[in-house]
Structure 1
Amino acid sequence: MEEVEAAYEWVEKKLVYRPPMKGWQSALKDGLLEAGVLPYNGFTLDHIYGTKIGVMLFDREGQKHSVVELLKYANSDTIVVYLYAYVHKILFTTKGRPKPKASGVIYQDADRVFHKAELVNKAMNEAHKINRVVLDNPMVGQGMGDNLMNIVVVPFPQPVGVSLLEVVGITKFDSFSEYCAGLSLSYNLTRRSQNHIIEVINSNAFFNYKYTNATAHELFNLMLDIPTNLRPRHVTSTLNLTQFCIDTVMTIWHYHGGCQVGRVVDKNYKVLGIDALRVIDGSTFLKSPGTNLQATVMMLGRYMGQRILRERDEVGEKNEKDLSVSPIEDETNLCSSFPKNKL
């Protein structure tokens, strides 16, 4: 667990920022506390019960940062980055091996020209493309899921500044409440709508951010008129939170699963039945660790990258592999090598 925590902290130090917490978000924080989502945990990156202030990818100047910026911490002598390139297929070799081994990829550039990139090892023969299915694993694509989401739209009586998800309420019945605002609308996102949502809307702290006659019942009616899905609406939905959640359920667009650990990959994220191929992304998760997967995916990439480097050192293969690309063409618009400590 120490290595996992270290990987999280490394990503956090490189990429995330503390939000400014202006009037609208502060009112929501106070509304959650008034509704009993306790304790108040202040600014923290930990996933703990209560009300907290999270982080965002926007700095104080409003500039958004992304995972691509982590590349500037890579060793520029051992990494090549291909822009506008899409992997078309993975190449495997089976010559002299009991099971297939990934040996390279066929990728397509922005001009739709195909190229081959192979991992070259002193002891590896030339890769042989296999046209048939290399490995038939019926568990690929199985177990996919997403957290459920319900939205409550609250019209503002006056314009407020745009803000993304800054305040989070985490309840002991495993629902997550997040809030963002833009123009004259606010959004209340939760994995399972619960009574505290109504309490936040009716709280004294939230009073100035809704029309005085806007009751929770009327706001639920408003949501039932919005085509969030193709499910039928029930007249009891505004009075029954369970039915309301069923009728207005949405995806939160954080899909995961499909290449789960123990089904498609092993505990080291190596594809079962294939050598030299790993899957390290959200498709390996059995369930979502929170409302958004990106922090955990970035942590996993850092954590496994460190482990892979350590494993290569242990077996003495650190300097035995390089990347060769064919055909040799003018790839000015395709290939970009990031210099050390500079994007």
Structure 2
Amino acid sequence: MPVFISCSCTYSFIQEAGWDEDLVNKSYPWVEDKIVQWPKIAPWQAALRDGLLQAGVAPFNGYTYDHVSGTKVGGTIFDETGYRHTAADLLAAGDASNLKVLLHASVHKIVFGSRQGNGRLKARAIGVEFTDEDGRHHQAFLNSNRDSEVIVSAGAIGTPQLLLLSGIGPKNDLKNHNIPVVLHNRYVGKGMADNPMNSIFIPTRSPPRQSLIETVGITEEGVFIEASSGFGQSSESVHCHHGIMSAEVCHRYSLQFHIAHTYFFLQASFCTLMLCVQRVEE
């Protein structure tokens, strides 16, 4: 089940946007089946799981993708060899004979046509304008197959930017930038926000086994408590980039403890932290 089903604000957005809720739900298992797998729990992750439960972040929900209160073990996009699977792996599910990938190409605008619907003309995406790796401009259009479509998948920032440049978004914003309005949609480009997070780095007497985030605690207030371990100035990680767990910001032997929305749950979080560290040191 997708995360958004448990979040009323996002679920209402799905309804207001007029998307097919059943189709959106079905897309998640399809992706999960291709690139997500259940992790083998590392020692630090097991300690965190037990510490969260002792601190009252209950119940234990086992292995699940669901966004539910309590402690759970989520999926991972890293396989047993440490290889990170991404959306690029989804291409393997396509028909290679009918697939063409253009590297270093940048899409600048969605091209729209019109079609008759409910007695009036409706805008329909029929292609894209893009530049190739040499800076040459091109247009690519859909073929005559009625199921052909333009899929916009440019990320949380790139997607709304592309939609706005193509004329989809709040009409006043578009007019202020002299962009012809194709479709007024007040949601596009709105609602972006950062989640506050505090990270605590804990030195240990011996190097813990590396683990990315596997165990997650979710409180009733919506606080996320998660952790990783072993990413520091060590031979197995110094040549890799692990974001906030990279060698540049971590100590040699360390545990990392991440708390989102900490102002709600500091006391219980530090209680959990002490329980986890005690278990690892034992």
TM-score normalised by structure 2 residue count = 0.62
Q: Distance in 2 between matches of 1:134 and 1:110?
A: 28
Change (3 A) 1:38 1:95: closer
Change (3 A) 1:207 1:113: same
Match of 1:38 in 2: 58
| Amino acid paired to 1:102 | A
1:33–1:39 Cα contact (<8 Å) kept: yes
Change (3 A) 1:8 1:138: closer
| Amino acid paired to 1:82 | L
Q: Which runs of 5+ in 2 are unaligned?
A: 1-20, 147-165, 168-177, 233-252
- 4+ residue runs of structure 1 moved beyond 4 angstroms? 1-5, 93-101, 120-123
Match of 1:110 in 2: 133
Q: Does the alignment pair 1:180 with 2:223?
A: no
- Displacement after TM superposition at 1:58 (Å): 0.9
- Displacement after TM superposition at 1:209 (Å): 4.4
Return 114-123 or 151-160, whichever deviates more.
Answer: 114-123
Figure out how many residues of one structure are paired with residues of the other and give that number. Answer: 204
1:93–1:103 Cα contact (<8 Å) kept: yes
1:157–1:209 Cα contact (<8 Å) kept: no
Name the SS for the 2:79 alignment partner. coil
Q: What fraction of aligned residue pairs are identical, expressed as a percent?
A: 35
Alignment partner of 1:189 out of 231, 255, 258: 258
Within 5 A, what are the aligned runs for 1:155-166? 155-166=203-214
Q: CA RMSD in A?
A: 3.2
Q: Distance in 1 between matches of 2:111 and 2:33?
A: 37
Q: Deviations over 1:19-43 (max 9, x none)?
A: 1212111111111111111112222
Q: Distance in 1 between matches of 2:193 and 2:62?
A: 31
Q: Deviations over 1:279-337 (max 9, x none)?
A: xxxxxxxxxxxxxxxxxxxxxxxxxxxxxxxxxxxxxxxxxxxxxxxxxxxxxxxxxxx
Q: Does the alignment pair 1:200 with 2:272?
A: yes
Q: Which runs of 5+ in 1 are unaligned?
A: 124-128, 213-343
Name the SS for the 1:152 alignment partner. strand
Change (3 A) 1:114 1:196: same
Match of 1:134 in 2: 180
Q: Which has the larger radius of gyration?
A: 1
2:208–2:255 Cα contact (<8 Å) kept: no
- Displacement after TM superposition at 1:2 (Å): 5.4
Match of 2:192 in 1: 144
| Amino acid paired to 2:142 | L
Within 5 A, what are the aligned runs for 1:317-328? none
Q: Distance in 2 between matches of 1:197 and 1:69?
A: 36
- Which structure's relative contact order is higher, taking Cα pairs within 8 Å and 6+ residues apart? 1
Q: Distance in 1 between matches of 2:139 and 2:22?
A: 39
Change (3 A) 1:94 1:138: closer
Q: Deviations over 1:137-170 (max 9, x none)?
A: 5834222223222222222232112211111011
Match of 2:32 in 1: 12
Change (3 A) 1:95 1:197: closer
Alignment partner of 1:89 out of 94, 103, 109: 109
